[in-house]
Amino acid sequence: TWTTEAFIEEAIREVRARVGDKKVLLALSGGVDSSTLAFLLHRAIGDQLTCMFIDQGFMRKEEPQRLLRLFQEQFHIPVNYVDGQERFLKQLQGITDPEEKRKRIGAEFIRVFEEESQRLGPFEYLAQGTLYPDVIESANTNVDPVTGERIAVKIKSHHNVGGLPKNLRFKLVEPLRKLFKDEVRQLGQSLGLPEEIVRRHPFPGPGLAIRIIGEVTKERLEILRDADMIVRQEINRSGYYPKLWQAFAVLLPDVRSVGVMGDKRTYTYPVVLRLVTSEDGMTADWARVPYDLLATISNRIVNEVPGVNRVVYDITSKPPGTIEWE
Ligand code: XMP
């Protein structure tokens, strides 16, 4: 049977044997996989590990700051923060097609990653939070034809990235490659990761950029961030967070509707509230939460977020819908 303590011991031995005294680079995303990986590697190789966090500007309100505080102040794991907000936003100017957004974000991610790894490096190894299901999915495709070793042709699929440039061919360190998600959560917990990360809902790599249905702008991101924050606060407060697979807001910036606030007419954007239950994200259902919870979220968003005057609840299951709107 699987025990985390035995796993940790063994993984630390393996990692040390594999990397020796070489430097290892890790791209943190804030999710449970890369965070657990960072904790494990930090324990195994200390300051041979360099953590990098690329802020694309599409994270939820205050998330980048929380992540940095958590790692650096609470756990004393240094993180190189890369502020990519302006350049990622520039890539999305005028872009409305969902797949084009993903492609551009992925390509920019590679560029930033390349620049930063050269600036901070050189690195012999790249650590990836590859899990067992990812290994199966990409069987054979990531193997060096000469050495038979798994190589980095992909920075985790959720960055939606086709391939790393040839001169960036790191050797991989993938100590989570035999684990399922639940085991990673257990491992993270044993390593001291806080509940807020261990139990965190999935969050897409392109983040809020695919929750603005249309062109992404700074102003729209701000509106969505504020609405999304209220959703999170109320879902947490109500105790529903652990019962849901995901809970978030979507902004429809190309739709405006009429409303009335005080004695003034408003003509602004709607926000879609998406609360879903799911086992694995492959199928999902809209969550039957209490009407009062919906009412609180709706009232708060309309009253507190300028630019939003209407909240609608998405009652579409997957299939035929998807969880995200893009
Ligand atoms: P859909 O919308 O396809 O989403 O029902 C299923 C799960 O995948 C997440 N998702 C993404 N995650 N990059 C990611 O890392 C993406 O481009 C992406 N698109 C969807 C979604 O949040 C849900 O958990």
Question: What count of other Cβ atoms lies within 10 Å of the Cβ of residue 127?
Answer: 28
pLDDT of residue 157 exceeding 70: no
Burial classification of residue 26, based on how many CB atoms lie within 10 Å of its CB (0-12 exposed, 13-18 middle, 19 or more buried)? buried
What pLDDT score does 156 carry? 44
Give the pLDDT confidence of 76-100 residue by residue, as tens digits: 999 999 999 999 999 999 999 999 9
Asked if residues 170 and 113 have their Cβ atoms less than 8 Å apart, the reply is no
Give the strand pairing for 246-251 and 264-277: antiparallel
Query: Which burial class, exposed, middle or buried, applies to 287 when counting CB atoms under 10 A from its CB (0-12, 13-18, 19+)?
Result: buried
Residue whose C-alpha is closest to residue 173's, from 12, 7, 281: 12
Known binding positions for ATP:
29-35
253 lines ligand 1 (CB under 6 A): no
Quick check: CB of 201 below 6 Å from ligand 1?
Answer: no
Average the pLDDT over 281-308 and give the result: 97
With a CB cutoff of 8 Å and minimum separation 6, the contacts of 164 are 110, 114, 152, 153, 154, 155, 170
Whether 324 is in the pocket of ligand 1, judged by its Cβ within 6 Å, is yes
4-198 belongs to which CATH class?
Answer: alpha beta
Strands (E) across 150-198 are located at 171-173
Which DSSP symbol is given to 170?
P
Name the residue with tokens 């257990």: 186
- Is pLDDT at 168 greater than 90 in this prediction? no
- pLDDT tier, 2 (very low <50, low <70, confident <90, very high otherwise): confident
Question: Rounded to the nearest 10 degrees, what angle do helices 291-304 and 218-238 cross at?
Answer: 150
271 has a pLDDT exceeding 60: yes
d(CA 298, CA 249): 11
Q: What is the pTM of this model?
A: 0.90
Confirm or reject: Cβ of 205 under 6 Å from ligand 1. yes
Once rounded to an integer, what is the mean pLDDT over residues 25-47? 96
Q: How far is the CA of 317 from the centre of ligand 1 (A)?
A: 15
76 C-alpha to center of ligand 1: Å? 31
3-state secondary structure of 306: coil
**Residue 268 C-alpha to ligand 1 middle, in angstroms?**
28
Residue 322 CA: nearest ligand 1 atom is: 5
Domain assignments of the chain as residue spans, ordered by start: 4-198, 211-313
CA proximity to 15, closest of 146, 171, 181: 171
Q: What is the overall mean pLDDT for the chain?
A: 92
> Closest Cα to residue 201, out of 316, 324, 304?
324
**Closest C-alpha among 286, 272, 289, 287 to residue 320:** 286
Q: Which pLDDT value is given to residue 169?
A: 77
Instruction: Give me the residues paired with residue 247 across strands.
Output: 275
Q: What are phi and psi of 289, to 5 degrees?
A: -85, 160
Q: Which two tokens stand for residue 83?
A: 């502020």
pLDDT in tens, 111-143: 999 999 999 989 999 999 999 888 776 655 555
In this structure, are residues 208 and 226 in contact, taking their beta carbons and an 8 Å threshold?
Answer: no
Task: CATH number for 211-313: choose from 3.30.300.10, 3.40.50.720, 3.30.2350.10, 3.50.50.60.
Answer: 3.30.300.10
Complex ipTM tops 0.85: yes
